[in-house]
Structure 1
Amino acid sequence: MGSTGPVRIAARALVATVSATLLVSCSHDAGGPVLRVGAGNSDQADLIAEIYAGALARTGARTAVVAHLGQRRDYLAALDAGTVVLVGEASGDLLTTFDPNSPAHLPDRTPAAGTTDTAPAAAAPVPDVADALSRALPQGLSVSDIADGTDLRPALVARATDDLPAALPDLASRCADLTVGIATGSELDPLRPAVDPQRDVIDPLHARYGCDVPHATVYPSDTDLRKALQEGQIQLGVLTAPAALLPGGTAGLTTIADPRYAFRARNVLPLFRTGSLTPVQIKKLNYVAGELTTAELIEMIVRIRDDHASAATLARAWLDAHSL
């Protein structure tokens, strides 16, 4: 669903592309152009690129993964220049890139649990992330289905031994009495936009839940925040990603549910050059979107990061397991 918008990615000389890793996937068709799928500098990006490239190869296309393209601005420039035709993205982060002031937080038009009692009756409807992103896309770029089963939002966590409510609507009245830590680094996702504690955490918690945070401490990494939480320096912590991505996983932690999406939806989706894919190929990507889940995605990312597993091998096994 392509869309025009005021933002236009500036094409740039991609010197770094010369040294990018180029991996060609097998297919049944020796002819036709090679569909190059780009990936930024992260294990998550490598994995998603391999999944998309592998899925497209199974439609008969010739595909290749171009890895190590750099940060978001670099691989979007590669997409704009035609060096690659598709990249894997996260919906909320991409919306932040194209429309930094968008008020959208919910993933789609389905109301989040408990949203009916949060906003004044006269408040104007707020667009969902999927719709806002569609409107913000620069001319020449399109997205297909968002993987609704992937939820990579920041996580609000507490010590598992602390007696705190399990969801933000029930915790809100106690926020002012708690010290909250906010992680701002890129440890769990090197491609994540930098966190602004006020804009991205404190203000949304107040707006969505009436959760006031007068006592906040900023930490440079998720690991530092976890240590402070375990030592009792803080009672709540806002991670930059799901707790399962932490080194050591969720041991000793409990995640506080955020049903009203104080933290903007962040789901996996493909971003591609308009007209570069056939309807059959787009349909295959939509099948991938319907099968991918948070748990499976995180498990594979952790295996790549901690066990040095091959992203291509994991992607192929995942596609096989889901008959894609």
Structure 2
Amino acid sequence: MYSVVVRRTAAAILAATCALGTISCSGDDTGPVVVVGGDSTTESVLLAEIYSQALERAGTDSTVVTGSSTPLADLDAGRIAVLPARNGALVDRWNPSSPARTPDEVVAALNSSLPQGISVSDAADGTDPRVADTHGATTEKSARTQRVVALYRSGIFDRQQLKKLNYVAGELTTDDLTDLVGQVDTGTDPAVAARAWLDAHAL
């Protein structure tokens, strides 16, 4: 079951109505609406808002639908079009025997493990919560790097839209996420927190 967090436009209302059956849908006067999904955690809701609003700033109608207990299955089935996630956790799910640990290794392992029809944005280099040494290896050798990425349905975005997703990756940090999660946990609307972060980073 889903909870629709934000409906910013008439097109977004339509998308929320259709989100359980399609990647996106459109009305008589609008183009496709990209549905960005997530689970019920504060981080997931915030990231969905950030990526959705970034796409809107590239001229893409988008809405956020979170609260799912099976967001990866929703992406695979086309019920959502975009899903923020942590790349190390995705490797754990799709290629658990992979020896990948460092940032570059995890990126390569994820790229080789993606299900058919699913693509991935750049990883947000500043969002690995673990301490890294000067060679990019982590102090926790038994754990994979965990950087934020956006999974998306292959072929749905043009170059400008993909740039927006990757601009987020270039700016987002663990400190940012920690601060944003704290704001939401103390009462700030996730959409408001995401908008302020995007404004502050000129995205």
Q: TM-score range by the shorter chain?
A: 0.7 to 0.9
Report the CA distance between 1:43 and its aligned residue.
Answer: 0.2
| Count of aligned positions | 182
- Partners of 2:68 and 2:140 in 1: CA distance: 35
Q: Which runs of 5+ in 1 are unaligned?
A: 1-15, 109-127, 156-166, 169-256
- Partners of 1:133 and 1:258 in 2: CA distance: 18
Structure scoring higher RCO (CA < 8 A, sep ≥ 6) equals 1
> Deviation digits for residues 62-116 of structure 1, max 9, x if unmatched?
100001012xxx11111111111001000100110111111100011xxxxxxxx
Q: Is the 8 A contact 1:26 1:57 kept in 2?
A: no
- Partners of 1:313 and 1:59 in 2: CA distance: 18
1:318 to 170, 189, 197: 197
1:129 to 103, 106, 109: 106
Is 1:38 equivalent to 2:15 in the alignment? Answer: no
Identity %: 43
SS at match of 2:68: coil
1:266 aligns with 146
Q: Is the 8 A contact 1:49 1:87 kept in 2?
A: yes
Report the CA distance between 1:136 and its aligned residue.
Answer: 0.4
1:294 to 135, 160, 174: 174
2:50 aligns with 51
Q: Is the 8 A contact 2:124 2:172 kept in 1?
A: yes
- Partners of 1:297 and 1:82 in 2: CA distance: 27
- Partners of 1:129 and 1:136 in 2: CA distance: 10
TM-score, structure 1 length as denominator?
A: 0.53
Q: Report the structure, 1 or 2, having the larger helix content.
A: 2
- Partners of 1:25 and 1:129 in 2: CA distance: 35
Q: Which runs of 5+ in 2 are unaligned?
A: 11-28
- Partners of 1:269 and 1:263 in 2: CA distance: 18
Q: Is the 8 A contact 2:6 2:191 kept in 1?
A: no
1:140 aligns with 117
CA RMSD of aligned residues (A): 2.1
SS at match of 2:202: coil
> Deviation digits for residues 7-61 of structure 1, max 9, x if unmatched?
xxxxxxxxx24xx21523359xx72111000011200000000000000000111
Matches within 5 A, 1:17-96: 17=2, 20-26=3-9, 31-70=30-69, 74-96=70-92
Report the CA distance between 1:308 and its aligned residue.
Answer: 2.1
Code of the residue aligned with 2:110 in structure 1: it is: L
| Runs ≥4 residues deviating over 2 A | 22-27, 257-263
Structure label with greater radius of gyration: 1
SS at match of 1:296: helix
